[in-house]
Homo-oligomer: A and B are copies of this chain.
Amino acid sequence: MKRLDLIFGERELDAMLESLEKAQVPGYTVMKHVTGRGPERVVSEDMEFTGLGANAHVIIFCEEELLQKIKKNVEPLLNYYGGVAYVSEATPL
């Protein structure tokens, strides 16, 4: 199985989860209040009270077959708003 890590702006979380649901993921885990830096932007903790919002980190464990479908769904969001997506191997305990 695969593990997919998505990191992107908290404010896109609802849209992102919706598009994951459309790809029929078996489940997901969300961590909010995440900060970080990408090639262009710094996301700091004070962005939580200003309107910008911090980042969210979403983890999905799923079959490899699903990845293409997920990719098709989340790529527009990542391209528009920024964010990263990485895949690694994972096997159930």
CB distance from A55 to the nearest CB of B (A): 7
A15 at interface, CB cutoff 8 A: no
CB distance from A74 to the nearest CB of B (A): 8
Other-chain contact of A29, B28, B32, B55, B75 (Cβ < 8 Å): B55
* CB-CB contacts below 8 Å: A1-55 with B: 1, 3-5, 7, 26-39, 45, 55
Q: How far apart sit A93 and B25, CA to CA, in the bound complex (Å)?
A: 15
Q: A86-B90, A87-B93 are in contact. Are A7 and B36 (CB under 8 A)?
A: no
A-to-B contact residues, CB < 8 Å? 1, 3-5, 7, 26-39, 45, 55, 57, 59, 61, 67, 70-71, 74-75, 84-93
